[in-house]
Amino acid sequence: MYKKMDIIKLAAIALVLLAGCSGVNQKDDEKSATADILSEQMELPIKRIDNVTNGAESYFSPDSKSVIFNGKLGEDTTHQVYTINIDGSDLKKINAIGDDACSHFTPDGQHLIWTSTKDNLHMHRGNYSDPKDYPQGAELYMSDLDGNNIVRLTNNEQYDAEVGISPDGKTILFSRQTDGMIDLWTMNADGTNQKQITFTPDWQEGGAFIMPDNTTILYRAWKKSEEGLDKKDMHLFTISINGENMKQLTHESGTHWAPFPAPDGEHFAYVTVFPPHNYEIMLRNLKTGEEQRLTNNPAFDGFPSFSPDGKLISFSSSRGNEKGDRSLKLYVMDVSSLNLGPKN
């Protein structure tokens, strides 16, 4: 789910900083608008998903025609789970109780997996954007495509969130916070056989996804010992689904987060921050480390996810917002020219 250093917190911080850096007079605004146009010309084709006025963390359906996301739309007082076609049609609210977070379609396209505090409203609400105050009532659920026939997968009254599912649909991956430490866990698709994967004494692991090989996990982490610092590094890692072969992918100081594997199994997208506060989406080769910048805009760009066919990336952005508007919109980028689709 979000999630998170939390990533939502990063997004909010980024938007505040962006607002503070925006122009203070008409000439500055005109310069900014010109810069936006020039930078967007350096990007692959992008289209906004209509009818989503405030949403983030969108993930594709198996047919690549729809996304599931967390939104705060209309009269919503908290973020809820929604689905929508990428052409902006058929907006559907999946849950309306509690605070919701990360969510996914199952690979067979028959069910949804999502996070919510819906059954633990008696507990401290917490904040998905603050690792020191994550909602301990966050649980994982599975439902049909309309949000009905709900099955509760976890019953821990802890922070169970940041959920993903293996491409073969057999394994659910999530983050759990216990006594202030965040670790990666797996379980069967029916919620049984819950296993802890990471046992590091300092790293806080999360935002994880299972690679196309169904055996490798891609994730981000930061050090708990650095949580009190004004600036802490976030790094990207891989680890085998059995908890072995942990490998750190990024070493340079800075923020590296929201990784998502490409369907080809050889690349992944992630977010980095260019000075002073420019959040951009990158594409990285898993083996060589070679990188390509995918977004080029002074606004916040984050939460990238690939369509299963490898032709599209969905992401959240504040581009086009009026000064002071901190909402995020959903966009789709055409990356078909990069040949990132499944290899078989």
- The CATH code of the domain that includes 288 is 2.120.10.30
Question: Do the domain assignments include residue 269?
Answer: yes
The predicted pLDDT at position 30 comes to 39
Question: Do the domain assignments include residue 41?
Answer: yes
The predicted pLDDT at position 1 comes to 44
Query: Considering its fold, how many domains does the chain have in total?
Result: 1
Give the pTM: 0.88
pLDDT greater at residue 104 or residue 39? 104
Stretch 230-256: mean pLDDT, rounded? 95
Question: Do the domain assignments include residue 75?
Answer: yes
The predicted pLDDT at position 13 comes to 42
- Which residue, 273, 219, 266, is CA-closest to 241? 219
Residue 198 domain boundaries: 7-338
pLDDT greater at residue 129 or residue 249? 249
pLDDT greater at residue 16 or residue 105? 105
Question: Do the domain assignments include residue 1?
Answer: no
Give dist(CA 153, CA 173) in Å, integer: 12
Reported as a single tens digit per residue, the pLDDT across 60-116 is 999 999 999 999 999 999 999 999 999 999 999 999 999 999 999 999 999 999 999
Please return the burial class of 341, using the count of CB atoms within 10 Å of its CB with bins 0-12, 13-18 and 19+: middle
Question: Do the domain assignments include residue 71?
Answer: yes
The predicted pLDDT at position 183 comes to 98
Stretch 19-32: mean pLDDT, rounded? 36
Region of poorest pLDDT, from 36-45, 157-166, 211-220, 227-236 = 36-45
Give residue 31's pLDDT band: very low, low, confident or very high (50, 70, 90): very low
3-state secondary structure of 175: strand
- Which residue, 198, 191, 193, 192, is CA-closest to 177? 198
Encoding tokens for residue 283? 């594409």
Stretch 228-232: mean pLDDT, rounded? 78
Give dist(CA 194, CA 191) in Å, integer: 7
Question: Do the domain assignments include residue 85?
Answer: yes
Stretch 316-343: mean pLDDT, rounded? 96
- Cβ distance 235 to 192 under 8 Å? no
Question: Do the domain assignments include residue 329?
Answer: yes
The predicted pLDDT at position 291 comes to 97
